[in-house]
Every structure is written in C-alpha cells, then in structure tokens.
Structure 1
Amino acid sequence: MTDTTPGPAGSAAPSASPTDGLRFAFGTLTVFRVRVTRWDRTAARAGMLWAPLVGAAVGLCAAAAGGLLQALGGGPLLAAVAAAAVPAVLTRGLHLDGLADTADGLGSGRPAEDALRIMKQSDIGPFGVITLVLVLLAQVAALHELYAEGPARGAVAAAVAGVAARLALTLASRAGVPTARPGGLGAAVAGTVPVRAAAAAGVLAVAACGTAGGGFGAYGAAHHALAALAGVASAELLLRHCRRRFGGVTGDVFGALAETAATAALLVLALG
C-alpha cells in the first residue's frame, strides 16, 4: 500500500534523494507498504531510475515462491504458476490490467481519442481477454520449461523477467516520450528520465541479468543478458506503436510494456 503526499503546487521542487526515489519506486510499482513522501516529477525521475531494482525484488519474490513449492514436492508446472502469479499479486494486477486495456484500445481501430476512452472503461473487451490469456499462458509455459530444467534456472529466469519488465518502464519514462493525456501515473512519470540516465540504467540492468546467468557458464551469462535485451526491445516496439496510435503513453501503456518485456525475456530464456 502507498501513502502519497503531493508536493506544493507551483513550487520549485528540490532535488530528490535516493531514499525519495526508492520510496516512489516501491510505493507506486508494488504493494509493499511504503510511505511516498515526495509526489512530484523530480521524485518520479529518481523513482523510475530505481525501477529495475524494484523488478529484481519482485522477481526474487516470484523465484522464492516457485522454489518453495518445488522444495515441498510440487512439480515444475505448479512452480511456474506461482512464479507468474506473485508479480501480479505484488503489483495489484495493475500491469495485467494495463495490458488488457491497451490491447482493447489498439484492437478497437478507433482514432486516438476514442481509443483512450475505451481504455479508461472499467470493463475488459475481447481483445483484452484474449491478450491476457495468451500472455499468461506464455509466461507459465516458459517458466514451466525453465523450472523443469532445475529450480535454479527457473528462479533466475523469474528474477531476470522482473528486471526486464521494470527496465522497460525506465526507458519508457525517458525525455522525449510524451504523455497521451493529463493525469494519472503515466503523466506523472512520462518524460522525466534523461536519455543518458535511462541508457546507463539499461546497461547496468542488462549487465546484472548477465551476471545472474553467469552461474550457468559463459553461454548462460550471454543468454540471460540477451533475454533482458529482447524484453526491452519488444517493449520498445510496442511503445512506438502506442505513440503512433495514442500520441503518447498512459499508465495502461506502461503496464503493457512491463508485461511485454517480461514475457519476451522468459520466451528467449525458454527457447534457448
């Protein structure tokens, strides 16, 4: 849960401390009980730079759930379901909801204003349902393949997917990416992260994924780094399409980017 405190309107925001950024990142991207003491674009910039670390925390929780079930005698399929479910629980299902809403908006074929209106509706349309089912099936199937190879492979894959998902959010928050509409988390973080800082965060996150895969040898290191790159590349393709269709990003689009990156990373790891 979060406790957000908006900053004073119209005042120049002081620079955000690393603690401000961490609070913003964990408080807005997870259900972890964190008090968000800064709610302005300066804190959003710092928070989105910490997003890959949030992803690592979520991914490790998913890995722990899958590993625990296997240690208790559960099979790889049960472990895979748990590892796919934990990120949804820890994010209140917001990323999956954003994925469904974005699919409905894109699938409608309507002009940007109408598509954005469709995305704001509380119900989920056929495009959203189909996309949710296929994405979750792909995640569970990929994790099943990896857990079947051993608990360590499944655990590292869950962590890498978590990092890739939140790295996609960092990169989508870079300067030059506009918001499609005012209000909401999408507008709060859009365009806040300098391009160089986003690139540096990307290099560090991909290197961390490669290091995590280094336990499986040199090929494992390259494979896990490639999986993270594939994840953010897939999210970037979706981001460009959403910018053309909607004119920018929304909170729903951010959720769709995270799920796209996680799924692509898991598929690359499973297919390798």
Structure 2
Amino acid sequence: MADSWRLALSTLTRIPVRPPGTIDQSTAGRAMVLAPLTALPSAGGVALLVWLGQEGVLSPLALGLVAVGLLAWLSRLLHLDGLSDTVDGLTASTDRARSLEVMRSGTAGPAGVVALVVVIGLQAVSLAALTTHDLGPLLAAACVIASRSALAVACARGVPAARPDGLGATVSGTVHPLAAVAVFGATAALVWVTALLPGFDLAALLAPVLAALALAGVLVVAVRRLGGVTGDVLGACVEVTLVVLLVAVA
C-alpha cells in the first residue's frame, strides 16, 4: 500500500515523495484506485478560491482561471498535456501508428490547442458560476475529486494498452471492474450529496451520469482508433470528466 501511495502521489501530483520500491500490477491498480484521494489538496485549493469569489475578493472569471491554473500546477499539467496530445493524435491521422507517433511527440498542434482553450474556458466559467451557489466551494471540490475516479475506470480490466511501454502500459487493466465501479460510484455519491443538500437539483443529479457517458465515449474512441489507452488518454479522461461535471453542476 505504501508503494501504491507513492506511485499515485508521484505520478498525479507534485507532492515530493520517495519513488515506490516495487511497481507491479497490484501496486499500479491500487494507485489508480487511490487517485481521487490524491486530489484532496487540489480540491481544497479550488474550494478556497471559490469561497474567496463569494466574498468578493476576486472577480468570478479571474477566480475561475486562477483555479484552473492551480489545478494544472498541482498536477504538473499532466492531464491537460494528455488532453492536448490525445486530440492532436486523433485528428492527425486515421492510421493508428501515425496517431500514436503524433501523441508521443509531445508538441501541441492546432487541434490540441483548441481543445485546451475550450476545456480550460468551460472549467473557468463553470467555477466562476459556482461562486453564486451557497455550496459552491464544496461542489467545486467534489467535482475535482470525482474527476480523478476516471483513472480507475480507464484502467479497469478489459481496457487494453495502446502500446507496450509507457504509463498506459503500466496501469492499464490493473483495476478490478468492481473496484472501478465502486470508486466512480463513491465519488458520484459525493457530488450528489453535496449538490442536493440545498434541495432537488436535476442538473446536479445528472452530472455524474453525463460525466460517465463522456468518459465512456473517450474510452470507446481510444480503443477503436488507438487500440487502447496511453498515459495521454488517461489525462484526457480526467479533463473530460471534470469539465462535464463542472458544467453540469454550474
């Protein structure tokens, strides 16, 4: 378990930890299951920023952009980089090998840049809108935590790796499907409880459902076009899940 924590924290955050002593399938699987917990510092920071917006310390839109920047910094831009590379790869060619080559290059093309602008913009505007909600800080934090459960789902057994090396090959297929469902369900419940405390809200109730559908869509496209997941695809899964959650609750 200690190695799993170290792997999760060193991969998904900038928290300085010792490298894990052993990385096997069990270690990698537990690390992906623990992913939502590694987002607690990010969630706390975003919640604080939304609260500051409620207090009038920052303008809502500026606050939203700062919050997205904080999320990116605390994750070492890992997920946004994955989103950009994935979109570039999928739009560069219909050939699997060519798409994977483009994704590995690491440079941001026009499609990746547009994807980043759209996703960052939607996240920032949604976080700004949450400043008008009494429980906006808690909702924002719940969405950040829930978005990381996408990693457990994307690494469930049955979802192959697109290439034999890299982060995707290390963690793909390492999470038991029941564990993946449990993690996603638990974080979805967190969003539901937080959103429904003031009263019934259909949009918030649908938020995890819509996020699950979006996540499933990303995985289906990745498997069909790329042959499976890569580290970049995992990052795209997190960002797509987060943006759908935030837009729905906002």
TM-score, scaled to structure 2? 0.92
- Paired with 1:161 and 1:203, the residues of 2 have a C-alpha distance of 13
For residues 1-272 of structure 1, the aligned pairs below 5 Å read: 17=1, 19-37=2-20, 38-68=22-52, 71=55, 73-147=57-131, 149-150=132-133, 152-153=135-136, 155-217=137-199, 219-220=200-201, 223-270=203-250
Deviation by residue 1:44-72 (Cα, 9 ceiling, x = unmatched) = 11111111222344222222233346546
Q: CA RMSD in A?
A: 1.9
- Paired with 1:175 and 1:75, the residues of 2 have a C-alpha distance of 44
Contact 2:50–2:127 at 8 Å: present in 1 too?
A: no
Contact 2:35–2:151 at 8 Å: present in 1 too?
A: yes
SS of corresponding position for 1:206:
helix
Contact 2:139–2:194 at 8 Å: present in 1 too?
A: no
- Paired with 1:45 and 1:164, the residues of 2 have a C-alpha distance of 17
Contact 1:242–1:253 at 8 Å: present in 2 too?
A: yes
Q: 1:53 is aligned with what amino acid? A: L
214 and 23 in structure 1: CA distance in 2 versus 1, 3 angstrom threshold: farther
- Paired with 2:115 and 2:82, the residues of 1 have a C-alpha distance of 11
- Paired with 2:58 and 2:134, the residues of 1 have a C-alpha distance of 11
| C-alpha displacement of 1:224 | 3.8
- Paired with 1:196 and 1:206, the residues of 2 have a C-alpha distance of 15
| C-alpha displacement of 1:90 | 0.6
Percent identical across equivalent pairs?
36
SS of corresponding position for 2:148:
helix
- Paired with 2:167 and 2:111, the residues of 1 have a C-alpha distance of 23
Q: 1:246 is aligned with what amino acid? A: L
173 and 184 in structure 1: CA distance in 2 versus 1, 3 angstrom threshold: same
| C-alpha displacement of 1:212 | 2.4
- Paired with 1:34 and 1:151, the residues of 2 have a C-alpha distance of 36
Q: Which has the higher contact order (CA 8 A, sep 6+)?
A: 2
- Greater per-residue strand proportion: 1
Unmatched tracts of structure 2, length 5 or more: none
Q: 2:176 is aligned with what amino acid? A: P
Contact 1:206–1:225 at 8 Å: present in 2 too?
A: no
Q: 2:234 is aligned with what amino acid? A: F
Q: 1:164 is aligned with what amino acid? A: A
> Corresponding residue for 1:9?
none
| C-alpha displacement of 1:88 | 0.4
Unmatched tracts of structure 1, length 5 or more: 1-16
TM-score, scaled to structure 1? 0.85
Where does structure 1 differ by over 3 angstroms across 4 or more consecutive aligned residues?
Answer: 68-72, 222-225
Contact 1:160–1:228 at 8 Å: present in 2 too?
A: no
> Corresponding residue for 1:8?
none
Deviation by residue 1:153-205 (Cα, 9 ceiling, x = unmatched) = 1x223213212321111100000100001222111110000111111112212
| C-alpha displacement of 1:232 | 2.7
| C-alpha displacement of 1:33 | 1.6
234 and 67 in structure 1: CA distance in 2 versus 1, 3 angstrom threshold: same
| C-alpha displacement of 1:246 | 0.3
Paired residue total: 249
Q: 2:219 is aligned with what amino acid? A: L
